[in-house]
């Protein structure tokens, strides 16, 4: 539009980390000019990285107060006071949990990459049950074998299991017999007597039945996720989830009746065709059901999502107003932010926040975000993240797609020796 802005800064070449300081200052100058030209001020300023809470926590370790941290983040990265306060509040909830981490314990992630249909915004490897039905028996057989191998490694290294997470995908997409095989195998291969949390993603309410809930309970799962994403049925149709909001309510009530005392609900702000008013109703309805935690994601559309081709149009809505509404309503109802992460390509450059009632925070979510505990991954697209006592991290990746996992299984299992090597080197 022909506007010109000039901005300059001086950096002393005696300063510590001169090159980095120059780079950051240059980014800041460009950011300020763009802010003036476009009139847009992203709330996270020019702070990048998916774990802002980790940064805030490091500043707290240095003895900085909330207002000092806020000032620092504003001066250095143009982060708004609102977002630095959010990160601070989240860190306050997380820190005692992190402090309580048990040495010699690891978590276990088991990937079941199947769902009834594929949501239009999905960027996971998840396959629809119809397209993957032929692969499932082989996948389960090999996943059981991988669990045996990991179980032996855990025994050999004298490790203990802290938390278990069945994700994917939607593990409850499996039929009751298949679900039972996997949960039974997990029970047989690992000593779960000291676990503090056992999660199952049961995100799609149309996959939840009494029989599956009984199986989940029988094998000791303590936390499940039943995810409305929205309580607006028109939006549910548009995003390709073949269920309605009534099914979510029924599944939630059934789970409560079966005795689940830790249920999470995921909600997404910024879904196609959703409005601010309808999003408010979704939050209000979720609160009304009284789950133990509510995770509010902001829509992120990556290349692998079908929605990527169509593009997202959020011209008539304010997604930051939605997330503000969620924040204020949830705090008023005693849900506190306990984990937070950011991703690329998120609408309005916002974030994802897990809110929970006191003592209902998911330990696994904190561990994975803060990278403070080894997580052993089983199944396709799962990665094992090994964490040494001084914070060194090594990742061992499994193949991404089920057919690759099945085809290359033997070769893949050879890589498991890297886990032993890592523990021998660092412990």
Identify the DSSP state of 124: S
CA distance linking residue 175 with residue 171, whole number of Å: 9
CB of 229 to ligand SF4, least distance (A): 8
Contacts to ligand SF4 by CB under 6 A: 115, 118-119, 122, 124, 126, 169-170, 203-204
CB of 166 to ligand SF4, least distance (A): 12
Residues 6+ apart with CB under 8 A from 39: none
Backbone φ/ψ region at 105: left (φ over 0), alpha (ψ -120 to 50), beta: beta
CA distance linking residue 394 with residue 426, whole number of Å: 11
Neighbours of 3 (CB within 10 A): 7
Q: Which is nearer to ligand SF4, 185 or 204 (CB)?
A: 204
CB of 292 to ligand SF4, least distance (A): 20
Q: Which is nearer to ligand SF4, 55 or 127 (CB)?
A: 127
Q: Which is nearer to ligand SF4, 88 or 231 (CB)?
A: 231
Q: Which is nearer to ligand SF4, 122 or 235 (CB)?
A: 122
CB of 203 to ligand SF4, least distance (A): 5
CB of 403 to ligand SF4, least distance (A): 17
Which tokens is 61 given?
């370790």
CB of 137 to ligand SF4, least distance (A): 20
Rounded (10°) angle between helices 363-370 and 81-99: 110
Q: Which is nearer to ligand SF4, 229 or 374 (CB)?
A: 229
Which tokens is 394 given?
């090594």
Q: Which is nearer to ligand SF4, 54 or 297 (CB)?
A: 297
Place of tokens 């306990």: 338
CA distance linking residue 384 with residue 396, whole number of Å: 5
């Amino acid at each position: 539009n022909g506007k010109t802005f000039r901005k300059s800064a001086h950096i002393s070449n005696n300063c510590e980390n001169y090159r980095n300081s120059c780079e950051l200052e240059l980014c800041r100058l460009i950011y300020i000019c763009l802010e003036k030209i476009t009139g847009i001020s992203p709330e996270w300023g020019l702070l990048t990285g998916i774990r802002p809470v980790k940064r805030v926590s490091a500043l707290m370790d240095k003895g900085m107060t909330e207002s000092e941290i806020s000032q620092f983040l504003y001066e250095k990265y143009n982060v708004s006071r609102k977002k630095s306060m959010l990160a601070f509040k989240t860190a306050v909830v997380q820190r005692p949990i992190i402090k309580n981490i048990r040495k010699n314990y690891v978590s276990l992630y088991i990937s079941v990459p199947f769902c009834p249909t594929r949501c239009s915004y999905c960027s996971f490897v998840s396959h629809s049950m119809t397209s993957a039905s032929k692969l499932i028996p082989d996948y389960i057989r090999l996943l059981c074998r991988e669990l045996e191998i990991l179980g032996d490694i855990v025994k050999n290294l004298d490790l203990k299991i802290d938390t278990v997470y069945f994700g994917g995908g939607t593990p409850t997409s499996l039929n009751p017999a298949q679900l039972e095989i996997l949960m039974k195998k997990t029970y047989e291969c690992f000593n779960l007597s000291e676990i503090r949390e056992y999660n199952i993603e049961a995100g799609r309410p149309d996959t939840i039945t009494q029989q599956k809930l009984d199986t989940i309970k029988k094998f000791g799962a303590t936390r499940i996720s039943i995810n409305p994403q929205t309580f607006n049925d028109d939006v549910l149709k548009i995003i390709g989830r073949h269920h309605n909001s009534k099914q979510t309510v029924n599944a939630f009530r059934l789970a409560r009746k079966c005795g689940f005392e830790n249920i999470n609900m995921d909600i997404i702000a910024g879904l196609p065709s959703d409005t601010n008013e309808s999003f408010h109703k979704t939050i209000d309805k979720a609160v009304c059901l009284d789950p133990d935690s509510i995770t509010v994601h902001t829509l992120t559309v990556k290349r692998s999502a079908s929605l990527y081709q169509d593009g997202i149009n959020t011209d008539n809505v304010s997604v930051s107003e939605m997330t503000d509404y969620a924040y204020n309503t949830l705090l008023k109802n005693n849900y506190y932010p306990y984990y937070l992460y950011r991703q690329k390509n998120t609408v309005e450059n916002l974030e994802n926040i897990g809110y929970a009632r006191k003592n209902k925070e998911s330990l696994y979510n904190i561990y994975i975000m803060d990278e403070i505990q080894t997580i052993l991954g089983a199944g396709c697209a799962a990665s094992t993240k090994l964490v040494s006592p001084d914070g060194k991290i090594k990742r061992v990746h499994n193949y991404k797609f089920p057919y690759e996992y099945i085809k290359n299984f033997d070769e893949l299992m050879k890589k498991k020796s890297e886990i032993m090597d890592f523990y021998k080197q660092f412990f």
